[in-house]
Structure 1
């Protein structure tokens, strides 16, 4: 027992050291990245008459270094980190970190309508992967440091350590994982401390004095509008990705074109340039006219997906915050016109959070991040309400997180994804599975599970058609919480099931299982009868050769 205790103690200390290392390195990367972008953007603003040429050159440089040296570094970085945690990408190449850094400074620093948070997340996750490689970690142990690096990048970028930790659980992991939480918290605290040392301890946005009371109905309205606007924004991102993928020219010419367009618009509307930090500050501090706000909102709403679709290095997170802020401001002005008095600063913050919640499907992260970035803790209740409503609207429109959807588009180029696409469900599906009638009494299920050595059943009707799934936890919950002995399986079965057919490719199924946090997909024939199951563990076994390549 003493040896085990010492081993556990050593393991905990080792993980602590690794997490601290990830936090320090990520914090320094984020600080240097921000300073480089800010300095370059200041030079660009001083030469505003050459803006279209400068932004075109920035786009050209960004696209060229990505195309020539590390194609996996294009775009945001958050989808690629998520794909890497699914083992559909490799973050351990040192070259990728430098290309992401240079490409991000070139594109964002010259004024392209993109954010620095996406590249920062990939820089942080890459730092975590490299620390894992140094310590020869594999599998879930390395994933912990990748997650810690990603969370610490968010923490350092926005001076928001709580949001960084929540972002990892809500967006990257999409579930609560206590084993990941320890290194993530350590790394986020360390990275935020490093950033504060060099950049100061101010909140990301300085907001003026404002009223603390908000009309709940207007907050609900803002959440509804943000929900629909977020879905439309996501569709616009997909449209631009598809549009640029069909243009048959070198990738760096695409980013050059996008740079020229944003530079030309920036001559007349400087607020659309860059991430959007300055635009938010100006809106909250100086109260722009409603006409200017609407024009800037529309331009940013259209041009950010345009720049992102071109393949330039940069994220959409910070621009989403700006777009949401302007959207909330517009709602506030219209409310005041309708004689419903509301504080414009306050409703702008509500719009900022709710729009992010709708697009990224991260209502908790959005709520916490906005009050961490602004210090407006007294608005947490209306912000929570608007975020919940916006997320509900997005769900009703069948919209998933934009980062999850971008994985499908971006990760298909990975060797693992290409291999999975060559295989179909029929290659690995199991025809040995257990079913249970939908009218089977719940009180007898546990006994049957013990006899069958089973923890999972497919629920079928009299014609063997799938009706749902039933797990051991379902039976235990009912027995503990309900005395009704007449309950049948159909009354408590789960309806959230990944369903496929024999001809579907394995990449689609692997992605669906990962996004839904489920372990089995049910295979149906054309008559909707069950013919087999595909287990997530079998898919991961197929990926083992690629996992070994990652760890080389």
Structure 2
């Protein structure tokens, strides 16, 4: 344990491993959940109001050419306002999830005072304009920035700030989907990519507080209420396997198409961002009167999925292709909206399409339609995002039942493996790359600051059983504490590294990410022959 009289330079280390810190981190997670959940709740209400107003206006003016022309003038005004907001705060471009990833990685330090109001207003205006974008990505960014605001208000250091940003991301996802465990798993599996008991508890606390808050305002129903009438019989599992593989392939195609559209828009380099946003705004205006089901996140499509009696093969295929095309163009332009909810909607459509194609051929009852919709949601989510555990938990919370756990897990794993074998980037990892590259280019210009990081030694890791002096530690880092079974050890050269040790290291802030990557390989669990 730490002794009295040690240098005050060890104060951050004491705080990091003290039990009081672990308790305070839970309390701070709850505070982040309260603040982030409140912001996202207001955001959901604003988006619901904007979409309701949009559909009311469309129904009233659809037979008047003059009023339709006036609506396009309104869209032009919204385009200008959104573009000015993007120029005021560029960190709000896109869904917002890559920006939160970059914050946690230490590659971005966005001003929360700008991001929260700008993202809130941008998302509301885009929904009112009808662009095919969802609320989940912006909700994650709003939650993450709420965590950053709490961190700054409490005077926390950069390392702890990243933990609170992760808590905020969980709160945002929880409030957006009304699914707290999905928020927890998404924040840990996709954003923080590390698991430790204090972090898991604080993230869970943040997500639960956020969900409690939003449920008091908008009710208890999930955004996609997939109540399954009965379980899939095991005789249908060969079809489940086929669906899982297809979801992986379609997930890879989804990503490649999205990235290709993004690359096409990158060739537009003048009058930004006005020129890039012009096409999605124009297409949203046309869709409002030609095919309104494609507008916004996809709530109109969800209503049809939940009442599938009139959905033919052609209708499902048309909605799937149309939704994907409009979402890809909106996303590729850099419009400040999300793609997660449209992804969930497209996953449901793909599952429904698969059922229509094979249901009659194999004599599957119509009552199982929603089962395949749920499997499509999990499979496409896993194939696109490469977060299979989050996909399983998401469907569990959407269905409210563990009965489908086996089939959903099977589809998610197969989709993950299949998509990975196509050598296609995971969606958010690909979007994160520009932020990491930009951070790498600017690091040599930044003043060197010290930052704390931690990593756990896995069972069978390469450094397990080695003395500290014999480990080829990455350049620029120093191991300051080893946390072992509740004790804090100050390492010497003779200290032996054990499995499940948590190593606290200090490094220049610009080197922390590289050190974490190298240490991750050294501490990775593996089976020894």
TM-score by length of 2: 0.78
Q: 1:532 maps to which residue?
A: none
The offset of 1:135, in angstroms, is 1.3
Q: 1:137 maps to which residue?
A: 156
Q: 2:364 maps to which residue?
A: 341
Change beyond 3 A, Cα 1:8–1:241: same
The offset of 1:457, in angstroms, is 10
Secondary structure of 2:470's counterpart equals: coil
Q: 2:83 maps to which residue?
A: 63
Specify which of 321, 343, 368 is matched with residue 393 of structure 2.
368
The offset of 1:385, in angstroms, is 0.3
Task: Note if contact 1:361-1:400 (Cα within 8 Å) is conserved in structure 2.
Answer: no
Q: 1:387 maps to which residue?
A: 412
Task: Note if contact 1:227-1:355 (Cα within 8 Å) is conserved in structure 2.
Answer: yes
Q: 2:33 maps to which residue?
A: 23
The offset of 1:205, in angstroms, is 2.1
Q: 1:467 maps to which residue?
A: none
1:194 matched to 2:213? The reply is yes
Change beyond 3 A, Cα 1:89–1:338: same
Q: 2:296 maps to which residue?
A: 274
Q: 1:331 maps to which residue?
A: 354
Alignment of 1:311-330 (within 5 A): 311-330=334-353
Q: Give the superposed CA RMSD.
A: 3.2
Q: 2:181 maps to which residue?
A: 162
The offset of 1:257, in angstroms, is 2.0
Secondary structure of 2:107's counterpart equals: coil
1:203 matched to 2:219? The reply is no
The offset of 1:142, in angstroms, is 1.0
Output the CA distance in 2 between the equivalents of 1:238 and 1:336: 33
Secondary structure of 2:224's counterpart equals: coil
1:173 matched to 2:192? The reply is yes
Q: 1:403 maps to which residue?
A: 428
Change beyond 3 A, Cα 1:33–1:518: same
Task: Note if contact 1:63-1:256 (Cα within 8 Å) is conserved in structure 2.
Answer: no
1:37 matched to 2:53? The reply is no
Q: 1:353 maps to which residue?
A: 378
Q: 1:453 maps to which residue?
A: 469
Output the CA distance in 2 between the equivalents of 1:206 and 1:167: 20
Secondary structure of 1:261's counterpart equals: helix
1:253 matched to 2:264? The reply is no
Secondary structure of 2:32's counterpart equals: helix
> 5+ unaligned residues in a row in structure 1: which ranges?
424-441, 459-474, 478-506, 523-552
Change beyond 3 A, Cα 1:24–1:398: same
Output the CA distance in 2 between the equivalents of 1:330 and 1:347: 9
Q: 2:262 maps to which residue?
A: 241
Change beyond 3 A, Cα 1:143–1:213: same
Change beyond 3 A, Cα 1:410–1:239: farther
Task: Note if contact 2:26-2:198 (Cα within 8 Å) is conserved in structure 1.
Answer: no
1:11 matched to 2:33? The reply is no
Output the CA distance in 2 between the equivalents of 1:128 and 1:476: 34
User: CA deviation digits over 1:130-155, x for unaligned, max 9?
Assistant: 11111111132111110000001111
> 5+ unaligned residues in a row in structure 2: which ranges?
5-13, 63-67, 447-459, 475-496, 500-509, 523-529
Output the CA distance in 2 between the equivalents of 1:53 and 1:187: 42
Q: 1:544 maps to which residue?
A: none
Task: Note if contact 1:60-1:256 (Cα within 8 Å) is conserved in structure 2.
Answer: no
Q: 1:95 maps to which residue?
A: 114
Aligned residue-pair number: 449
Secondary structure of 1:350's counterpart equals: helix
Task: Note if contact 1:269-1:296 (Cα within 8 Å) is conserved in structure 2.
Answer: no
Task: Note if contact 1:56-1:255 (Cα within 8 Å) is conserved in structure 2.
Answer: no
Task: Note if contact 2:104-2:163 (Cα within 8 Å) is conserved in structure 1.
Answer: no
The offset of 1:422, in angstroms, is 9.3
The offset of 1:373, in angstroms, is 2.1
Farther-moved stretch of structure 1 (86-95 vs 207-216): 207-216
The offset of 1:219, in angstroms, is 1.1
Output the CA distance in 2 between the equivalents of 1:513 and 1:401: 23
Secondary structure of 2:296's counterpart equals: coil
The offset of 1:168, in angstroms, is 1.3
Task: Note if contact 2:112-2:146 (Cα within 8 Å) is conserved in structure 1.
Answer: no
Farther-moved stretch of structure 1 (145-154 vs 35-44): 35-44
Q: 1:500 maps to which residue?
A: none
Output the CA distance in 1 between the equivalents of 2:336 and 2:179: 23
Task: Note if contact 1:60-1:255 (Cα within 8 Å) is conserved in structure 2.
Answer: no
Change beyond 3 A, Cα 1:381–1:109: farther
Task: Note if contact 2:106-2:513 (Cα within 8 Å) is conserved in structure 1.
Answer: no
1:74 matched to 2:93? The reply is yes
Change beyond 3 A, Cα 1:174–1:510: same
Output the CA distance in 1 between the equivalents of 2:435 and 2:286: 29
Q: 1:146 maps to which residue?
A: 165
Farther-moved stretch of structure 1 (90-99 vs 122-131): 90-99
Output the CA distance in 1 between the equivalents of 2:94 and 2:113: 18
Q: 1:497 maps to which residue?
A: none
Q: 1:488 maps to which residue?
A: none
Change beyond 3 A, Cα 1:297–1:289: same
The offset of 1:161, in angstroms, is 0.8
Farther-moved stretch of structure 1 (150-159 vs 205-214): 205-214
Secondary structure of 1:91's counterpart equals: coil
Q: 2:244 maps to which residue?
A: 223
Secondary structure of 1:338's counterpart equals: helix
Output the CA distance in 2 between the equivalents of 1:322 and 1:207: 12
